[in-house]
Chains A and B, each alone.
Chain A
Amino acid sequence: MIVKDHNELFNDTAYVEQFERKREFENPPPAGDVQKTAQWSASAEYMEKNFKREALVINPAKACQPLGAMLCALGFENTLNFVQGSQGCVSYFRSHLSRHFKEPVAAVSSSMTEDSAVFGGVNNMLEGLENAYTLYKPGMIAVSTTCMAEVIGDDLNSFIKTAVEKGIVPQTLDIPFAHTPSFVGSHITGYDNMMKGILSGVKAGGKAAPSNSINIIPGFDTYTGNYVELKRLMNLMGVNATVLADISGTLDSPNTGRYQLYTGGTPLSALKDSINALSTVALQKYSTVKTGEFIKTVWGKDFQIAPVPIGIENTDEFLDMVTAVTGKPVSSEIENERGRAVDAMIDSHPYVHGKRFALVGDPDLLMGLLSFILEMGGRPVHILCTNGDAAFVKDAEALLSRSQFGKDSTVHVGKDMWHLRSLLFAEPVDLLIGNSYAKSLWRDTNTPLLRIGFPLFDRHHLHRYPIIGYQGAINLTNWIVNTLLDEMDRKAMFTQSFDVIR
């Protein structure tokens, strides 16, 4: 039986005519006005007005703090996310993460309502901790906040203390917390706050003799494949590394016919021992600001920021950093992988060289992608970072200025994807890199889209493939060159240039 669903059904005459009849009641703008306005929205005049916006934000590429906090806590063994505040937020976070990872995501809310707005959220937290502890038997509860709890000034520290004093939860249970107001920063800030909250909030075994291990903090990284790749690289080098926080087991768990609330995650014992590591290496800068400060000042331990290991040079530098800290050299197997990645990039370079790119995403991801694109001879033109700051502009511009391929670039921070729409009309590019929401730009400006970033809702499994390390460089090369070739073929389909060998 041939079944027509929404993809085809509404092209049928019966529906085309129905839509026409409906217009009688819609009071739509005259058809000419729609076309005229659409054209005007692509003009230089519109772009000028668009960039003069001061208060209105349209299609921003950022989420809010507690989402990042939740991602961070999901990377620890037997850990339950507990969000103090309104319950709708938690449903949103869970949906958002599930749509990207195609995995179940658990979290509880303290379900605060009007009365909590008046009396504060302490009772919600006390009852919430009791219920959550009894029902979900977590090894750790990570508490973050929605803006409701922040606006009314809930004091997590004292609430949790009260819960312990009243015997609602055992004294031995770790309940780290982070204040994560949605009106400050973005999801990467929330990640940072929660990481710091967890490192400072767990009852560590105390400082002991330095272990021979290192800590690696990937940052707000939604590629489960990256975590697997990172651990593989460290294994190959014989490095004893604790990944803080490892979401790969939590958000890519095997199907065994049984659903488990807790799977994977950094073992709590390793978390507690992380204070004794030789050094902590962060793979992102902007999502580890406070965490780094904490490790340096409170722990008094070494903290280094590696360049995001995306592309060859950044990966080289990261691995060298690991060698410098641990004394373990890069293995010959990794060296071979490097050779293969470089070989792949050289093979594909003619289709990438000189191509113009637009990129939108989180600051750390952008730094890595820019570095890779420059290595291939691509020209980044528009770089847009809604949640970037002045430090990011400086870093990105420094990176771009080191390459002749970076001289056409402009870095936009605090701007949104509606700004990028104007930029793409004004100065078209060959390839746009962004998350699934960038598909509206693909449609409006006819710019081919490569989906890299977060969230990726409309394509499956991309997050399983690493974009870091030399394997990641091969994946990026594959995606970039083949997207460009697909586009080239689409355009050449009915010309002499529709070649079978590329």
Chain B
Amino acid sequence: MSTLIQQTQKMIDEVMDAYPEKARKFREKHVRPNDPMRECGSACAVKSNVKSRPGVMTIRGCAYAGSKGVVWGPVKDVVHLSHGPVGCGQYSWWSRRNYSNGMTGIDNFGAMHITSDFQERDIVFGGDKRLAQICREIKEMFPLAKGISIQSECPVGLIGDDIESVAKKMTVELGIPVIPVRCEGFRGVSQSLGHHIANDSIRDHVLGKNSIDTVTDYDVNLIGDYNIGGDAWASRRILEEMGLRVIAQWTGDATINELAIAPQAKLNLIHCYRSMNYICRFMEEQYGIPWIEYNLFGPTKIYDSMRKIAAFFDDTIKERTEAVIAKYTPVMNAVINEYKPSLKDKTVMLYVGGLRPRHIIGAYEDLGMEVIATGYEFGHNDDYKRTYPEMKEGALIYDDITPYEFEEFAKRLKPDLVGSGIKEKYAYHKMGVPFRQMHSWDYSGPYHGFDGFPVFARDMDMAVNSPAWKLIRRKK
């Protein structure tokens, strides 16, 4: 074991000491020093995708958050019914910043909270009868809605409602797809199962149900980009400039039609592997559509990804891709010249979800910064495997980190910047540690693509170099 790895392990051991024995044994498997050579084999792999410990604060969400919040929610012309009590829909209302075009309440239902608002009688007598009535009322209130998704909250599965049969009946009666989604919050261990369940419901109820008349050799799907702050639009711009035709955007600013026509594409391009690999694998098996992962954070990864994508196509595309890279290189260099001097050698700790704990590393490196610790809220083994090579030896990697561990590691590693979520943000502000929310882009964005990188660089600079941090009078 190298010295770097040993040092990190020592720090981990210290932090783990605070737990009761059982919780410690459990937690220590989720936090590891990075060993990019993998000399220790599976023994030093970070354990992931298992239950959080009761009573130990977790940053994770639930399956409903993964389905309604992440995968289904951005599909803009479908009414997403939060089926159950009022809370889940309230707390996930208009908060994810998955931007979309359209008129709210008329042909776009993204920024709304539509719920069955379960009362005690629904728990006692079941919610199915009212569900049918709700679907009829949705159709009446929102005649331009292209579908209804029923996003199940915890009680639905516990009281044994048969939402599938109601959905089937309503699909016929209303003439629009009514899609049951069994994403009750108690299922699985995190958001992750919700993604999978949502993928499966798209597969079963939408995929291939419509088609476009003319296809080209350059048709691709942009998968796993939720258009946070306009990310998918900035990504699409690059693909279109390369000469590709994006026929479906999943699911940021998506319509249900784009979910339906996707099997006609020649290639699936997947950004958030974690939340949408399922549907890509299915399309590969069922329709023979290949898929590749790409990364549009920061110029280095953007150029790599563009070339990787272009390699699937003919020389026309390859040439155009090189021309696009040549066009944007001076623009990207100007951004680096502007911000690198004030960000060089600054260190970053990340804790996010989906693709970001590994995908943003390159963008920081473009600015001369170093990610010294990273981890996933709801990652699986395959996410960690993709992460080890991106990090230096001895870097800290953690899974389902608890706020206690996160704060203790931050005290010891003294990062110049922490990137995580709203629940973490203000604790770090109190600690005087510069912080950016890296789920919502802290109400900024886009961060993807050539148009996103300048915004990313500006935001990281304003966080790290704000004069306000100097005002803190530190209590010892």
Where the two chains meet, the residues of A that have a C-beta atom closer than 8 Å to any C-beta of B are: 1, 3-6, 9-10, 14-15, 18-19, 21-22, 25-29, 33-34, 37-38, 41, 49-50, 53-60, 62-64, 66-67, 82, 85-89, 91-96, 98-99, 102-114, 116-117, 124-125, 127-136, 146-148, 151-152, 181-184, 186, 253, 255-260, 418, 421, 437, 440, 443-444, 457
Contact = CB atoms under 8 A, between A and B. Distances in A.
A94 B65 CA distance: 14
Given A18-B240, A60-B86, A255 B248 contact: no
B430 A9 contact: no
A147 B155 contact: yes
B237 A15 contact: yes
Contact of A110 (B55, B120, B454, B457): B55
Contact of A257 (B77, B253, B261, B475): B475
B255 A41 contact: no
A148 B475 contact: no
B107 to A, nearest CB: 5
Closest 10 CB pairs of A and B: A88-B62, A128-B55, A64-B87, A128-B54, A257-B474, A92-B91, A131-B55, A27-B257, A182-B85, A132-B55
Contact of A87 (B60, B134, B141, B157): B60
Contact of B426 (A103, A114, A148): A103
Nearest to B101: A19
Given A87-B60, A255-B432, A92 B88 contact: yes
B258 interface: yes
Contact of A135 (B19, B230, B258, B432): B19
A53 B138 CA distance: 9
29 contacts: A1-B334, A3-B457, A5-B458, A15-B233, A22-B236, A25-B258, A25-B261, A37-B143, A53-B141, A54-B137, A64-B85, A67-B87, A86-B186, A88-B63, A88-B191, A92-B92, A95-B91, A98-B423, A106-B403, A128-B55, A131-B19, A135-B56, A135-B404, A147-B118, A148-B158, A151-B154, A182-B85, A258-B475, A437-B93
A57 B133 CA distance: 11
Contact of A111 (B52, B92, B113, B159): B52
B338 A1 contact: yes
Nearest to B446: A6
B104 interface: yes
A12 to B, nearest CB: 9
Contact of B454 (A3, A6, A62, A444): A3
Nearest to A54: B133
B117 A60 contact: yes
Contacts of B65: 88, 91-92
A49 B407 CA distance: 53
Interface residues of B, number: 122
A113 B51 contact: yes
Given A58-B112, A134-B19, A183-B118, A105 B107 contact: no
B90 A60 contact: yes
A412 B59 CA distance: 38
B380 interface: no
A131 B430 contact: no
B210 interface: yes
A62 B431 CA distance: 33
Interface string B128-164: 0010011001101101101000000111011100000
Given A1-B338, A55-B116, A111-B58, A18 B137 contact: no
Interface string B94-133: 1100010111111100011111111110110000001001
Contacts of B28: none
B428 interface: yes
Given A107-B57, A257-B472, 9 more contacts: A5-B229, A25-B261, A26-B257, A26-B258, A28-B255, A89-B88, A89-B185, A104-B430, A147-B153
Interface in B52-93: 52-65, 77, 84-88, 90-93
Contact of B55 (A34, A108, A114): A108
A112 B395 CA distance: 32
Contact of B431 (A91, A95, A259, A444): A259
B428 A259 contact: yes
A11 B108 CA distance: 19
Contact of B115 (A25, A60, A117): A60
Given A10-B230, A63-B87, A98-B423, A111 B51 contact: yes
Contacts of A49: 140-141
B33 to A, nearest CB: 23
Contacts of A147: 84-85, 87, 118, 153-155
Contacts of B445: 5-6
B90 A114 contact: no
B91 A5 contact: no
Contacts of B327: none
A253 B261 contact: no
Contacts of A106: 57, 403
Nearest to A33: B144
